Chains A and B, each alone.
Chain A
Amino acid sequence: MAATPLPLVGAPSPARPEPDAGRYPAQPLHHLDALWIQVAGTLCNLACTHCFVSCGPGDLRHPLMSRGEVRDRVAEALALGVKEIYFTGGEPFMHPEMLEILADTLPRVPCAVLTNGTLFTQRRLETLRALSDASRCALEIRVSLDGYRAEDHDRFRGEGSFARTLDGLRRLSDHGLLPIVTVTQNGDEDPLAFRARYITMLREAGVARPRLKVLPMFLLGRETARTRGYLEIETLLDLPAASFDPDRLQCGGCRAVTAKGVFVCPLLVDEPGGRMGGRLDETLGPFPLAHGACYTCYVTGMTCANG
């Protein structure tokens, strides 16, 4: 079924009124394909100006998850037939046991780690490659980049971070880990030209076989101060049931966990209404798509997942 096209708008933003859950489309969970584990909580070595969960140094609003806690969550997810696990933060490599957690998890289920790429020591890279080689499950390393020029990226992420991230990408590539570079596109540039520009830059920087994933920007967290939040008009409120396509959204196939519980998706871990329960099996019901971010996902058809 085709989704009803919805307008994308841009202007300043008022706060959203309390949602009336019954008037929003209810997204069923078809199956738990992906479990997002916010392993490093909100702890990060950077404080990016567009971070949708406002992470930063010393930020423990969502605390680090222990190795045992992660093991229990993975076991819960495997019992539900999970296909793949995504580790995120914060910065996952701020977690002192990240490699041990991967060693626990990767033998049983494909894993992706979303990182800013600035914390790769030689030992970490060698261990990651060894873990990848030892498992038949894929290990994907995803590195965020916010521009193909240092000045663009550093404006979001801080002086010098572009060079450090590129260095991390080059070293991942040298270790054959084939990182996926995650970029955000907001302008109207032709997608092929946009892609080609990044690929050229990455190749010139020594990243052999660069892979790219393009995401839209979400008006959440620190990004709301940098640009704006969602407008009232950016909503799925009263979307006619006949127009709603329940296969379009990633929350039809995912949940996210932090030390604070189970959330509908990795985007809404800090948002009112995003928390669905304490255990995964409590969160298998439908979710009302009441948030502005739900609007972005629905309109763009985006997914945080690799594919």
Chain B
Amino acid sequence: MSHRLALFGGVYSNHLALRAVLEDVERRGAGAVWCLGDLGGFGPHPDRALEILRSSGVPALRGNYDDSIGHGRGDCACGYTDPRDNHFAQLSYDYTAARTAADHKRWMAALPEQQRLEIGGRRVLLCHGSPRRVNEFLWESACSDAFLEWLCEAHGADIVACTHTGIHWHRALPSGRHVVNVGAIGRPANDGRTEVWYAELAVNDAVSVEFHPVAYDHDELAREMEAEALPPEFVETTRTGWWTTCLENVPAPERRRGRH
């Protein structure tokens, strides 16, 4: 019997993409859906995405952004080290924190940080950044197999699913374990395409992962971002599919695939 699980993360207030992704998930008929966190940031009107997500009944994890917004912390704790990245992150965070309803904040603060599932006899661990740290960036090119094997072993998982970096990837490890970064649905994957991406995990005798691009009305989102006076750099990313900010901890191979 095949078990199919739809996994998405990095909503970043993109309510239009969230609606489109939920429709795509519904159409494909996955058995279960999880959101791996980071509901706010980057996009406009944070409450819109929160209302869609909460009314959908899709369970969600508490990403670093949700933890910060939910607990009223001073910044997003994304883990950037570059001053320009932190500058833009702070603009986005202050905008989001000021426009998120208190009820949503309480809800986010109470979300679980991780979730364990047993699917087809395999131990699946859903997390935000990594199993050991909510804001750890797991980039495909920056992780050895040896490290990912250790991470799975140390956290008792056959399959680890995470998000946080915004670029999706999947690695089948020599031991038969799997690590999946499900990508983000709030902004494009720095690939020059305006679609956003989520993952579908299928577990039967084998494990397979498929990434689905989802088109949505990105022009409308860009107009909303402009109307909210969000940074033009963010709007450009939405319109072009190329990242313009939060680039400095992107490893060379992933950055080389981008434009900036």
Are B145 and A108 interface neighbours, CB within 8 A? yes
Q: Roughly how many angstroms separate A24 CA and B257 CA in the complex, as a whole number?
A: 46
Are A82 and B146 interface neighbours, CB within 8 A? yes
In the complex, what residues of A have CB within 8 A of residue B254's CB? Answer: 138
Among listed B1-9, B25-33, B135-143, B222-230, interface-contacting one: B135-143
Are A84 and B144 interface neighbours, CB within 8 A? yes
| CB under 8 Å from chain B, chain A span 247-291 | none
| CB under 8 Å from chain B, chain A span 77-111 | 77-84, 108-110
Are B253 and A132 interface neighbours, CB within 8 A? yes
Interface residue B82 (Cβ < 8 Å from any Cβ of A): yes
Interface residue A176 (Cβ < 8 Å from any Cβ of B): yes
Within the complex, the shortest CB–CB distance from B60 to chain A, in Å, comes to 25
Point out the residue from B82, B147, B256 that lies within 8 Å of A83, measured CB to CB. B147
Are B252 and A78 interface neighbours, CB within 8 A? no
**Contact of A138 with B82 at beta-carbon distance under 8 Å, contacts A31-B150, A78-B146 already known:** no
In the complex, what residues of B have CB within 8 A of residue A176's CB? Answer: 256
Interface residue B23 (Cβ < 8 Å from any Cβ of A): no
Per-position binary interface string of chain A over residues 176-205, scored 1 when its CB falls under 8 Å from any chain B CB and 0 otherwise: 111000000000000110111000000000
Per-position binary interface string of chain A over residues 293-304, scored 1 when its CB falls under 8 Å from any chain B CB and 0 otherwise: 000000000000
Q: Roughly how many angstroms separate A67 CA and B28 CA in the complex, as a whole number?
A: 52
Point out the residue from B87, B151, B251 that lies within 8 Å of A192, measured CB to CB. B87
In the complex, what residues of A have CB within 8 A of residue B149's CB? Answer: 81
In the complex, what residues of B have CB within 8 A of residue A108's CB? Answer: 144-146
Interface residue A139 (Cβ < 8 Å from any Cβ of B): yes
Band of interface residues on B:
20 to 34
Are A211 and B248 interface neighbours, CB within 8 A? yes
Interface residue A307 (Cβ < 8 Å from any Cβ of B): yes
A contacts with B, residue count (CB < 8 A)? 35
Interface residue A219 (Cβ < 8 Å from any Cβ of B): no
In the complex, what residues of B have CB within 8 A of residue A83's CB? Answer: 142-144, 146-147
In the complex, what residues of A have CB within 8 A of residue B255's CB? Answer: 178, 209, 211
Interface residue A151 (Cβ < 8 Å from any Cβ of B): no
Name, among A81, A192, A212, the residue most crowded by chain B CB atoms within 10 Å (CB to CB). Answer: A81
Interface residue B175 (Cβ < 8 Å from any Cβ of A): no
Q: Roughly how many angstroms separate A256 CA and B142 CA in the complex, as a whole number?
A: 19
Interface residue B208 (Cβ < 8 Å from any Cβ of A): no
Are B252 and A139 interface neighbours, CB within 8 A? yes
Are A82 and B141 interface neighbours, CB within 8 A? no
Per-position binary interface string of chain A over residues 64-86, scored 1 when its CB falls under 8 Å from any chain B CB and 0 otherwise: 00000000000001111111100
Within the complex, the shortest CB–CB distance from B127 to chain A, in Å, comes to 16
Are A140 and B252 interface neighbours, CB within 8 A? yes
Name 7 interchain pairs, CB-CB below 8 A, sorted by A.
A81-B147, A132-B252, A136-B253, A138-B142, A138-B253, A192-B84, A194-B83
* A-B pairs, 5 with minimum CB distance: A81-B150, A191-B83, A138-B141, A83-B147, A138-B251
> What 15 new A-B contacts, CB under 8 Å, besides A108-B145, A211-B247?
A31-B150, A31-B154, A83-B147, A109-B144, A110-B141, A136-B140, A137-B141, A138-B251, A138-B253, A140-B252, A141-B252, A192-B83, A196-B84, A307-B79, A307-B142
